[in-house]
Amino acid sequence: MLKNLTDFNPDGWDIGQSPTDKIAFYGAPPISQRPGGAQSPLLGMPGNQFVTYQFSLSPSAVGANTTVESTFTGLTGILTTDFIVAVNKPSTQAGLGLVGWRNSATTAGTIYMNFANSTGSTITPTASETYNVVVMRGGPVVSQSITPAAVPAGTTVEQVFILQGSGAAGTAIVNAAGQVVGVNITAGGSGYFIPPSVTFAGGGPQPSYVLSGAFGGLDQPAATAAMPYGSGATGIAVVNSSGVVTGVKITNPGSGYLAAPAVSFAGGNWFEPGQFAVGSKPSSQTGLGIGGWRVPATGQIGITYTNYTGSAITPTAGETYQFLALNEMPPMSEFVEYGATITTPGTSITSSSTAEQAIPLTGITAGSDWVAGISKPSVQTGLFVGGARVSVTTSNSIYVCFGNVTGSAITPTGSEVYVVTVGKVNPPMPAMVYPQYISSFTSVAANTSAEQNVTLQGGPIGSTMVMNYVGGSLPTGLSIGGVRVSATTAGVVYVNWQNNTSSAMTPPAGLYLFGNFPVPGPGVGNFAAVLGSPAQFLNNALTNEVQQLLDAIGLYRGY
């Protein structure tokens, strides 16, 4: 008789009670679960929203051999809860690098960018340049307190930190038969984006005491050596989409628990090699920059600190950094939400008539995109928005139809941001990863920076990008001072290498990961927002593990 394992069961099926239970199909030899971080159960989470903004910014001057953090305020749309994934400076300046960015946790519309100068002279970043800023909302950002070591003068140091959830606690529930039948969660903790491991320890008898002394007081515990502790209990933690432990599913109740064993949780982070990584240091320290991120091993983050000064600098201890590791994400919707700014409203709308006006909006494709909805941010008596459209011939604009029902002319308010929902035949991916082996870079002169180009097959134009070197730690004194995408040539990416030493250095050949956010900058003052599916489902390491496991048990045949 044919047995359908799912039986249309919405709760799914759990085959086996523990990783050591052996499973087989088609008569293949039974095997237990393969080892490796990619075998951890992965959590399905709500969609992650990526929003690309474009701002015209004028950073502060940067003195010789140091860093300066520039503060930018009044950036409409940036929220205090946003995580800044990427920032791209649109041009290169020899000796200047962008070595960190962060969001304000208290003031909306405020961001900070850390600029570094490797040379012996002051450099002023070009004024009024248009920067791409990509933020993520609702995604699996890890927050963790770390205490880095000192960074020697005029050099770089990569430091590796283990990431895991924290704060979860619970009390085991034991029945009369000495078995663990559940866990009462007393604290859910945070940062558990995959189920952490659960450990039950102890659970032996409570010590008994004997009466002694003239007043019948309690004396030493009676001997209990012959009464063993309980053993064998195992469980799987249950976590929610916010990274909080909500329960424990008991997979083996064990035996011999005459008292409740202690419950502990460990791990709970999904970071895997093959993902690109970014992060945020919560404060600025003059002369200190971050010249690279990577995932060196499961559940770890590598941070390359760069010291541009002549004295050692110790990064502030106990600061809570934010980290993000991502794979590619397919879009969750065919719609992109734009913010379109009308800076000059054009001619007024005459009485009792309608008129159509164009709004520039980079990223609109003529002949295929369509406007699904538009919202004007303020009310003007007698004026209404009668719809919007995309031209069949002209890209990068939408056309808004205004109507005037009064007896006098009305001019739509200027400098307003209209929210426009645009449907796309080919919706952009929120995040892409380009692994590329680069066989050679050219030499970078001493105490300066040099921009070198890389061509990525299929790379988009005018998007936003970050880069990780995953072949190991970067050579001492060398760091990444920014990455930008060509605004005119598809697939061309410019990498800004900073050499903080007194000798010429050549960036290493090896594997690099380019994390790309394909939505192009929508224009100064505008934004473009897309939704992506959870990154964890597209982990290349997990895909390989699943295929090998299915082949090993005979369920999948590669021939």
**What radius of gyration, in Å, describes the C-alpha atoms of the chain?**
29
Helix (H, G, I), strand (E, B) or coil at 68: strand
Instruction: Give the span between the Cα atoms of 142 and 540, in whole angstroms.
Output: 21
Which pLDDT value is given to residue 3?
56
Which pLDDT value is given to residue 550?
64
Which pLDDT value is given to residue 426?
86
Run means of pLDDT, 10 residues per run, the chain, 559 residues: 53 60 67 48 57 96 97 95 95 96 96 97 98 90 92 96 90 94 93 86 65 50 56 89 86 92 87 90 97 91 96 97 87 91 79 92 94 94 94 94 95 90 91 90 95 86 90 93 91 94 95 92 93 54 54 51
Which pLDDT value is given to residue 543?
53
Cα distances (angstroms) measured from residue 180 to each of 20, 169, 265, 535, 555: 19, 16, 16, 35, 35
Going along the chain from its start, the domains and CATH numbers come out as 48-162+273-326 (no CATH), 166-266 (no CATH), 335-423 (no CATH), 432-521 (2.60.40)
- 8 A C-beta contact, residue 495 and residue 483: yes
Which pLDDT value is given to residue 206?
52
Q: Is 541 exposed, middle or buried (0-12, 13-18, 19+ CB in 10 A)?
A: middle
Which pLDDT value is given to residue 381?
95
DSSP classification of residue 85: E
Which pLDDT value is given to residue 307?
97
Residue 268: alpha-carbon gap to chain centroid = 16
Which pLDDT value is given to residue 345?
65
Residue 397 pairs in a beta bridge with 360
Instruction: Give the span between the Cα atoms of 447 and 95, in whole angstroms.
Output: 7
